[in-house]
Amino acid sequence: MKRLKRIVSILLAMVMVLGMGITAFADGNDGSITINGSAGNGQEGTEVSVAGKTFTAYQILTAEMAGNTAEDGVIYRVPDALKGFYANYFDLPLSTNGDVLVSQASFDQDVTEKIAALNAEELQLFAEEALKAAKAANVFYKTATAGNEDKSVTIDSLPLGYYVVEDEGAARPISALALTTTVKDASVKIKASQPVIDKNINGTTDTDPETVELVKYNNTSIGDKVPYVVDTSVPDMTGYKKYYFIVNDTLSKGLTFNNDVVITMPGVTALPDVSTGDAMAVVDKVLEVGKDYTVTATAVKNAEGNETGETAIEIVFKDFIQYKNMEGAPIVITYSATVNKDAIIGIAGNPNKVTLQYSNKPNVEPDSDPDNPDKPGPDAPVGTTPESVTYTYITGLELTKVDEAGKYLTGAEFEIAGNRLNKVLISGVRFEVAADGTYYKLKDGTYTTTDPIENTVSGGDAIPGTGTEDLYESTTIKYEKVPYNTVETKAEEYKVTAIVDENGKVKFEGLGAGMYTITELKAPNGYNLLKNPITVKIECAVPETGATSTNCTWTAIYTLDELNASQLDIMSNNTIEDLKYDTPRILGAGVEIADLTFGTAVFTLDVVNQSGLLLPSTGGIGTTIFYVTGSILVLAAVVLLVTKKRMVREK
């Protein structure tokens, strides 16, 4: 009996071998897996390319034909090296009745049925764990690498079976798929599961007249609002039971957050109204702050614990997994920042950068922050997108008051007016009342350190004009000169004024591209006012998209009204090219100087005052009356002298 049983077992084994042989030699048993790139979800940046990537297919089940034809079905077998994994994962016994042959077939069938019953999410979780086990057990695998220009890559010469395909460097397998006699050449498309984020400036509502769409760069003035638009979308959350979705924004020192975040999900399909029978509609879903998300703004600190002046904005989406069935739905976040007095002046720009933190491993139990379940804990698997950065540029003007010899002059006061003024950072001086001050204020608004001379007193009354005290606003109140940096808010007529410092300098900073008029309101004592205003046209050329440098280029065009060459002195008659990066010197009414391009932070301009009086030469009698009268008197005196001499001779 025992002998007969052994013979039957041998015969059965031979049948299996022959069956396998039939499978091997019938119509060939090699298959292939082709991996294709993905166009993403339609949002820029979600495209996934296979170019240059390496993919590996691990065989986690072998496949056998149940008969001589495909219609007979396929039997999947568990590799010996993975039996322990399957038994633990699906909680299956490794044997049923002690019969090795029967237990193997039963076990294979149980595993096959368990895998077939998995839904999409469960299958993704299974694939991740099976990949780990396959790599640890060193089961059969094959690798292929795509070329730098390839849009797809094929792993060929694969025995029939069930495979898990890995994208090297990815957080999870891209697929679990079968090769059988009916589907020998399988294909899979990489799914764009990593979310992206993109930040721009809304050019339709900012203060830069040159921008009309979403842009990465703009120019503006201190006090202006910069409107931002952040675009992202609902990612693929297959296999996740919890998902972290956090926007982190960093405002540079020169930008003040206005705490005006609005989040919408445009084009969301609303469910039909059961009570009215209305059909489904596409609407914009506006998320509610506090209920759907939170916003927190904190001061950024360096490693030493000192504040850097930057502001960190954190937008945390609450219970983000609720949007799981809305994959690809756009998320639009808008808010603004105001340019402040700490803004970077010049070509470098004021950056504003944003990143997105997101969950990137679905089969790991969430490790949330104990203080906030919608934020990841220190050991939670999360990813971070690359930074998306915008830049806002600001410039300024520095005037230097000098005489004809280049000596610095003090006491001058200037006014600047323009269409891009909002708040202007002024560096100059002001005079404050001080008991130990050394300055007096004159009635013409200027200041002097010269003590007043009292008028002569006659008969108990002071004789006006015999001293200098009548020129003083007060002979007892004294002032001190104080250097300052302040922000002046524009008046209704868009004008601000400032007095030059002891070096004859005054700065008007925080300006955007636009037209400005500079007028000298007061000249230094003993000097003439600049006769005509100076008009300055400032232009800004921002970097092109994709440029390696984020620096902008500022250009100024100076124009003086009423051309008068005798009052113009511009760098000793140098050419326009020679003037670049130099300082124009303006005496009075003059000429347009085209395209002065500066690479420094602030445009500099020397304004020259001439001493002495400007006497009229045309258009009025002026001093001519004195010359004519004097000549008549001299002539009369000569005639009288000659007449007297003749009378003496005649006598």
Report the 10 Å Cβ neighbour count for 526.
Answer: 11
The whole-number pLDDT of residue 421 equals: 65
The whole-number pLDDT of residue 346 equals: 81
- Joined tokens for residue 475: 């002979």
Residue with the bigger pLDDT between 574 and 191: it is 191
- Per-residue pLDDT tens over the stretch 61-110: 998 877 666 566 788 999 999 999 999 999 888 765 555 544 678 889 99
- Per-residue pLDDT tens over the stretch 476-493: 999 888 765 555 544 444
Mean pLDDT score of the chain:
75
The whole-number pLDDT of residue 9 equals: 40
Residue 472 CA to its chain's centroid (Å)? 54
Residue with the bigger pLDDT between 492 and 638: it is 638
Amino acid residing at 546: G
Count how many Cα atoms sit within 13 Å of the Cα of residue 217 in the half-sphere of its side chain.
19
> Is 90 exceeded by the pLDDT of residue 262?
yes
- Per-residue pLDDT tens over the stretch 546-582: 677 888 888 777 665 433 333 333 333 322 232 322 3
Of 17-21, 206-210, 421-425, 616-620, which one has max mean pLDDT?
206-210
> Is 50 exceeded by the pLDDT of residue 618?
no
Residue with the bigger pLDDT between 337 and 384: it is 337
% residues pLDDT > 70 (the chain): 69
The whole-number pLDDT of residue 380 equals: 84
- Per-residue pLDDT tens over the stretch 316-332: 999 999 988 787 788 99
> Is 70 exceeded by the pLDDT of residue 650?
no
d(CA 280, CA 352): 39
601-613 mean pLDDT: 69
The whole-number pLDDT of residue 245 equals: 96
Of 43-57, 265-279, 571-585, which one has max mean pLDDT?
43-57
The lowest-confidence range among 264-273, 454-463, 616-625 is 616-625
Band of pLDDT at residue 524, cut at 50, 70 and 90: confident
- Per-residue pLDDT tens over the stretch 371-400: 999 999 988 888 787 788 898 888 888 888
The whole-number pLDDT of residue 278 equals: 61
Site of tokens 């003037």:
579
> Is 50 exceeded by the pLDDT of residue 315?
yes
The overall pTM is greater than 0.75: no
- Per-residue pLDDT tens over the stretch 113-128: 999 888 776 887 898 8
Q: In what helix (H) or strand (E) does residue 34 lie, and over which residues does it extend?
A: strand 30-36
Distances (CA, A) of 542 to 222, 338, 390, 553: 18, 20, 11, 7
The lowest-confidence range among 33-42, 257-266, 363-372 is 33-42
The whole-number pLDDT of residue 40 equals: 56
Q: Which stretches within 142-198 are classed as H helix?
A: none
d(CA 601, CA 590): 25
Which of 574, 573, 541, 571 is closest to 556 using CA atoms? Answer: 541
Q: Burial letters for 194-216: b for 16+ Cβ neighbours within 10 Å, e otherwise?
A: bbbbbbbbbbeebbbeebeebbb
Residue with the bigger pLDDT between 306 and 568: it is 306
Amino acid residing at 200: N
Band of pLDDT at residue 156, cut at 50, 70 and 90: very high
- Per-residue pLDDT tens over the stretch 388-438: 889 888 888 888 888 777 788 887 888 888 877 655 555 556 678 888 999
Band of pLDDT at residue 143, cut at 50, 70 and 90: very high
Residue 280 CA to its chain's centroid (Å)? 38
505-521 mean pLDDT: 83
